[in-house]
Amino acid sequence: MLLPELKLRRDKIRSLMAQQGIDAALITCNVNLIYTYGRVVSGYLYLPLHSPARLFVKRPNTIEGEHILPIRKPEQLPQLLEECGLPQPSRLMLEGDELSFTEYNRLAACFPQTEVLPCGTSLIRQARSVKTDLEVELFRRSGAAHIRAYQQIPSVFQRGMSDRDLSIEVERLMRKEGCLGIFRVFGQSMEIFMGSLLAGDNAAVPSPYDFALGGEGVDPSLPGGANGCLLGEGQTFMVDMGGNFFGYMCDMSRVFSIGPLCERAEQAHRVCLDVQEAVTAKARPGVTGEELYNTAIQLVTEAGFADYFMGVGQKARFVGHGIGLEINEAPVLAPRMKQELLPGMVFALEPKIVLPGIGPVGVENSWVVTADGVEKLTPCNEEIVVL
Amino acid sequence: MLLPELKLRRDKIRSLMAQQGIDAALITCNVNLIYTYGRVVSGYLYLPLHSPARLFVKRPNTIEGEHILPIRKPEQLPQLLEECGLPQPSRLMLEGDELSFTEYNRLAACFPQTEVLPCGTSLIRQARSVKTDLEVELFRRSGAAHIRAYQQIPSVFQRGMSDRDLSIEVERLMRKEGCLGIFRVFGQSMEIFMGSLLAGDNAAVPSPYDFALGGEGVDPSLPGGANGCLLGEGQTFMVDMGGNFFGYMCDMSRVFSIGPLCERAEQAHRVCLDVQEAVTAKARPGVTGEELYNTAIQLVTEAGFADYFMGVGQKARFVGHGIGLEINEAPVLAPRMKQELLPGMVFALEPKIVLPGIGPVGVENSWVVTADGVEKLTPCNEEIVVL
């Protein structure tokens, strides 16, 4: 990655550090290294407020360059800073929501004279929530690849397939279009394979994970997603795969039906499209996540589908979420979210309704906030595709 | 999962707790919940030394039963314990190597009168390192499924494929045989998609990750594994996919060649098979990981392949590793590992040599330690398959 882009990102972090009187950051978690150095390494990016960043690398042993030094263990950091002519930090931030308790304490103990703060995660996530032009462009390209994969879904569907069989073919389509496969989520208890394909009543099964919909899964060690059920006539399924083509988690869901659907399902789907239209018509800089959530709930309630919106029984408490290097970033479109949209924020909006006996309907697209509205990053057919 | 199996596992943890004067454990990380409760939930398993375990569940909201209560946030825990008639813990262990610094502190703050210890991770991992009969049986079944997938690899290979193209087809074979896809690793900086397919010189490219071999990958956000190179005549590739069929990470590598190989490659492969034979002939309860590592290194050195063993330039510092719910458990077959093998331990042994201009050779199997030796969990052809 080019240095001007990295400098832009580092300066966004620095500007937030300056507001809190923090004079250095020690960055070692993979997504934050991708953000600030452009790739994963095993090591530490040391980001001082007023000097160029230094990279201290354990692995791979082939990385060299200006301001890059090898390191074996974090206890060498103070000495290495001295060798770089850098002062020891006064107020140092670490990635407190990502580092384990043990690792955080080990790093903090390397700087006994320093005030160490755990706010690194929240501050870097704040910086990451507003994308650079290059990041938005990577999202656009991801959206195009994501669309190409989904457009081939009818060609791999066969009657008599299980949800799991079809999911495997869709995963392959995603991979063939360049998807890296790995699905990065913030928070240690959140996990999923490449995404989900939810069919019929399985879409209403609650899971332990905080995704929009759940699913039973096929094994108690991963209770989410497809459960092996047959894709039956008159039912729907929803494909919601993670679109990680260049590190960025593009998010997009589309609905398919086996044969024609009843009027009620068509109506529910229409309500979700209406929610999308109403929310995105309102979305612009200055609007809060809460306002957008309320817009969605009001419309769904008026249409009489509130009991089936975002799950049945156990419901997701959001209608959209920021996306970036992880699938769950700021902003969140949910109750009590007072954070205002800013230009460059990227979010997924996913109004979904689950109809008992039929399955899931609705839509999900990824959007970037522009100067005066939003731009769709995943533009393609949103009608239910009848198979 | 049946209660007697869960009780067996919980009692293994309790016995280690008793040795350290710990009277309760609070368990909330996914792999440890799978181990002690049989499935992932969002919530907390509270394990007292002398009373039955209690499960406090946030999600899914459908889990009910004896000793199971709903919870919204961890701050309710002291009150809920009281309602269960349980005393507040005196010495409580948390999962200090897995919980984030922030989450650990939040949980610890719920018990202001309690001495809170971060040793939960290491203690539970110690308990997990010796498998129960059921766990070994799940590994056997995983091995059988893993073998079925690998045996179909020649049928999906086509001349002119890239390593990535073939990897996608192998991933599909694994999924069709029941692989859950998700690859669980201990340690926040370790990540990989389903496993790796390494061909030719790409197998020598060092990566940031601490796996046996590296690979360049196709994107700097995930620099490991296949890099898109063509599978060329006279070269080898190694398939090393994670065999997670029931939660347990079965591990197995096999080598294929495009057309016949030179004598030197055949010889190097034979050395790896010899290493496997020598190490597993020696492996039994009481032998240390270090002894087994030294056995491997000595044999490889005598054979003249030390410079190419476990990578070139950047080498892995182990020849085997424990496996279980995660791919990297105890014991580790590496220098300075004084831990002795115990019956029921399961490990992967992966002697691998990378030959410049040719590619990787060698083998990897999963093994369980028996009363007087080891049993292979992944028995199938170990010769290089010529395509």
Q: What is the value of ipTM here, to two decimals? A: 0.97
What's the average model confidence in pLDDT over B339-345?
98
Chain A residues within 8 A of B94 when measuring between CB atoms: 101
Nearest residue in chain B measured CA to CA from A173: B168
The torsion angles phi and psi of B10, rounded to 5 degrees, stand at -65, -35
Within this chain, do residues A137 and A276 fall inside the same structural domain, yes or no? yes
What's the average model confidence in pLDDT over B41-56?
98
A308's tokens: 């089936």
- CA nearest B253: which of B261, B268, B241? B241
User: Closest Cα of chain A to B294: distance in Å?
Assistant: 23
Decide if A359 contacts A200 (C-beta within 8 A).
yes
Within this chain, do residues A42 and A55 fall inside the same structural domain, yes or no? yes
The model's pLDDT over B248-299, given as tens digits with 9 standing for 90+, comes to 999 999 999 999 999 999 999 999 999 999 999 999 999 999 999 999 999 9
B334's tokens: 């590496």
Q: Please state the three-class secondary structure of chain A as a single string.
A: CCHHHHHHHHHHHHHHHHHCCCCEEEECCHHHHHHHHCCCCEEEEEEECCCCCEEEEEECCCCCCCCEEECCCHHHHHHHHHHCCCCCCCEEECECCCCEHHHHHHHHHCCCCCEEECEHHHHHHHHHHECCHHHHHHHHHHHHHHHHHHHCHHHHCCCCCEHHHHHHHHHHHHHHCCCCCCCCCCCCCCCCCCEEEEEHHHHHCCCCCCCCCCCCCCCCCCCCCCCCCECCCCCEEEEEEEEECCCCEEEEEEEEECCCCCHHHHHHHHHHHHHHHHHHHHCCCCCEHHHHHHHHHHHHHHCCCHHHECCCCCCCCCCEEECCCCCCEEEEECCCCCCECCCCEEEEECCEEEECCCEEEECEEEEEECCCCEEECCCCCCCCEEC
Looking at chain A, the whole-number percentage of residues with pLDDT higher than 70 is: 100
Are the Cβ atoms of B42 and A325 closer than 8 angstroms?
A: no
Decide if B90 contacts B112 (C-beta within 8 A).
no
Q: Which of B128, B152, B172 is the last residue of a domain?
A: B128
In a 13 Å sphere around the CA of B10, the CA atoms on its Cβ side amount to 26
Chain B residues within 8 A of A325 when measuring between CB atoms: 221
Nearest residue in chain B measured CA to CA from A244: B221
Mutation target vs B (from A37, A39, A102; most B CBs, 10 A cutoff):
A102
Mutation target vs B (from A59, A101, A194, A246; most B CBs, 10 A cutoff):
A101
Tell me which amino acid residue B321 is: H
Q: How far apart are the C-alpha atoms of B359 and B349, rounded to whole Å?
A: 19
Nearest to A118 among B40, B59, B102 (CB): B102
Report how many Cβ contacts below 8 Å link chain A to chain B.
Answer: 192
Tell me which amino acid residue A241 is: M
User: Closest Cα of chain A to B85: distance in Å?
Assistant: 27
User: Closest Cα of chain A to B36: distance in Å?
Assistant: 12
Mutation target vs A (from B39, B61, B222, B249; most A CBs, 10 A cutoff):
B222
Q: Strands B346-349 and B320-322: what pairing? A: antiparallel
| Sign of the alpha-carbon dihedral angle for B76, B80, B83, B88 | negative
Looking at chain B, the whole-number percentage of residues with pLDDT higher than 70 is: 100
The model's pLDDT over B212-246, given as tens digits with 9 standing for 90+, comes to 999 999 999 999 999 999 999 999 999 999 999 99
Element (H, E) at B156: helix B153-156
Q: Strands A359-362 and A115-117: what pairing? A: unpaired
Decide if B246 contacts B136 (C-beta within 8 A).
no
Interacting residues of B245 by C-beta distance below 8 A, sequence separation 6+: A219, B138, B141, B142, B145, B146, B177, B178, B179, B180
Nearest residue in chain B measured CA to CA from A225: B180
- CA nearest B91: which of B63, B112, B116, B69? B116
Within this chain, do residues B84 and B151 fall inside the same structural domain, yes or no? no
Decide if B95 contacts A188 (C-beta within 8 A).
no
Q: Which of A110, A128, A146 is the last residue of a domain?
A: A128
Looking at residue A188, its pLDDT comes to 85
Longest CA–CA span in chain A (Å) reads 72
What's the average model confidence in pLDDT over B349-374?
98
User: Closest Cα of chain B to A58: distance in Å?
Assistant: 8
Within this chain, do residues A369 and A267 fall inside the same structural domain, yes or no? yes
The per-residue pLDDT of chain A, averaged, comes to 97
CA angle B243/B244/B248 to nearest 5° reads 110
Residue with tokens 């004598």: B263
User: Closest Cα of chain A to B339: distance in Å?
Assistant: 22
Looking at residue B188, its pLDDT comes to 85
Q: How far apart are the C-alpha atoms of A299 and A291, rounded to whole Å?
A: 12
Cα pseudo-dihedral B232, B233, B234, B240, rounded to 10: 50
Mutation target vs A (from B221, B249, B250; most A CBs, 10 A cutoff):
B221
Nearest to B40 among A98, A223, A247 (CB): A223
A57 burial via Cβ count (<10 Å: 0-12, 13-18, 19+): buried
pLDDT level of residue B305 (50, 70, 90 thresholds): very high
Residues across chain B: 387
pLDDT level of residue B63 (50, 70, 90 thresholds): very high
Span between the terminal Cα atoms of chain B, in Å: 43
Residue B257: left (phi > 0), alpha (psi -120 to 50), or beta? beta
Nearest residue in chain B measured CA to CA from A174: B168
Looking at residue B338, its pLDDT comes to 97
Nearest to B222 among A40, A104, A194 (CB): A40
Within this chain, do residues B357 and B233 fall inside the same structural domain, yes or no? yes
Q: Which of B70, B94, B128 is the last residue of a domain?
A: B128
The per-residue pLDDT of chain B, averaged, comes to 97
Within this chain, do residues A70 and A137 fall inside the same structural domain, yes or no? no
Looking at residue A244, its pLDDT comes to 98
Q: How far apart are the C-alpha atoms of A193 and A241, rounded to whole Å?
A: 9
Within this chain, do residues B137 and B122 fall inside the same structural domain, yes or no? no
Look at residue B347 and give its three-state secondary structure: strand
A40 burial via Cβ count (<10 Å: 0-12, 13-18, 19+): buried
What's the average model confidence in pLDDT over A40-59?
98
**B223 to each of A4, A47, A191, B253, B272, how far by Cα in Å?**
22, 23, 21, 20, 26
The model's pLDDT over B133-152, given as tens digits with 9 standing for 90+, comes to 999 999 999 999 999 999 99
pLDDT level of residue A26 (50, 70, 90 thresholds): very high
Looking at chain A, the whole-number percentage of residues with pLDDT higher than 90 is: 98
Cis preceding-peptide flag for A331 (omega within 30 of 0)? yes
Interacting residues of B9 by C-beta distance below 8 A, sequence separation 6+: B35, B36, B127, B132
Looking at residue B151, its pLDDT comes to 98
Q: Strands B91-93 and B24-27: what pairing? A: parallel
Within this chain, do residues B101 and B71 fall inside the same structural domain, yes or no? yes
Are the Cβ atoms of A219 and B246 closer than 8 angstroms?
A: yes
Range of the domain at B41: 3-128
Chain B residues within 8 A of A32 when measuring between CB atoms: none
CB atoms within 10 A of CB B336: 10
Decide if B332 contacts B321 (C-beta within 8 A).
yes
What's the average model confidence in pLDDT over B50-71?
96
What's the average model confidence in pLDDT over B310-323?
95
User: Closest Cα of chain B to A323: distance in Å?
Assistant: 16
Are the Cβ atoms of A180 and B221 closer than 8 angstroms?
A: yes
Looking at residue A2, its pLDDT comes to 85
Within this chain, do residues B116 and B144 fall inside the same structural domain, yes or no? no
- Residue A156 is part of a domain; what is its CATH number? 3.90.230.10
Decide if B346 contacts B333 (C-beta within 8 A).
no
Residue A250 has pLDDT above 90, yes or no: yes
Chain B residues within 8 A of A206 when measuring between CB atoms: 59-62
Nearest to B98 among A58, A100, A247 (CB): A100
Q: How far apart are the C-alpha atoms of B309 and B341, rounded to whole Å?
A: 24
Cis preceding-peptide flag for B60 (omega within 30 of 0)? yes
Long-range contacts: A68-73, Cβ < 8 Å, 24+? A71/A43, A71/A44
Nearest residue in chain A measured CA to CA from B103: A97
Decide if A328 contacts A352 (C-beta within 8 A).
no
Residue B183 has pLDDT above 80, yes or no: yes
The model's pLDDT over A84-112, given as tens digits with 9 standing for 90+, comes to 999 999 999 999 999 999 999 999 999 99
A188's tokens: 């240690």
The model's pLDDT over A177-232, given as tens digits with 9 standing for 90+, comes to 999 999 999 998 899 999 999 999 999 999 999 999 999 999 999 999 999 999 99
What's the average model confidence in pLDDT over A161-175?
98
Residue B2 has pLDDT above 90, yes or no: no
What's the average model confidence in pLDDT over A272-280?
98
Nearest residue in chain A measured CA to CA from B248: A221
Look at residue B16 and give its three-state secondary structure: helix
- CA nearest B239: which of B160, B328, B171? B171
Decide if A157 contacts A256 (C-beta within 8 A).
yes
Within this chain, do residues B68 and B200 fall inside the same structural domain, yes or no? no
Q: How far apart are the C-alpha atoms of A44 and B208, rounded to whole Å?
A: 12
Total number of domains constituting chain B: 2
CB atoms within 10 A of CB B342: 14
Q: How far apart are the C-alpha atoms of B252 and A160, rounded to whole Å?
A: 33
User: Closest Cα of chain A to B173: distance in Å?
Assistant: 9
Within this chain, do residues A113 and A158 fall inside the same structural domain, yes or no? no
Decide if B78 contacts B24 (C-beta within 8 A).
no
Decide if A92 contacts A25 (C-beta within 8 A).
yes
Nearest residue in chain B measured CA to CA from A215: B60
- Residue A57 is part of a domain; what is its CATH number? 3.40.350.10
Tell me which amino acid residue B327 is: I
Q: How far apart are the C-alpha atoms of A74 and A77, rounded to whole Å?
A: 5
Decide if A328 contacts A185 (C-beta within 8 A).
yes
Work out the angle between the directed axes of helices B120-129 and B30-37 (0-180°, nearest 10): 50
pLDDT level of residue B190 (50, 70, 90 thresholds): very high
Within this chain, do residues B363 and B239 fall inside the same structural domain, yes or no? yes
Q: How far apart are the C-alpha atoms of B127 and B32, rounded to whole Å?
A: 11
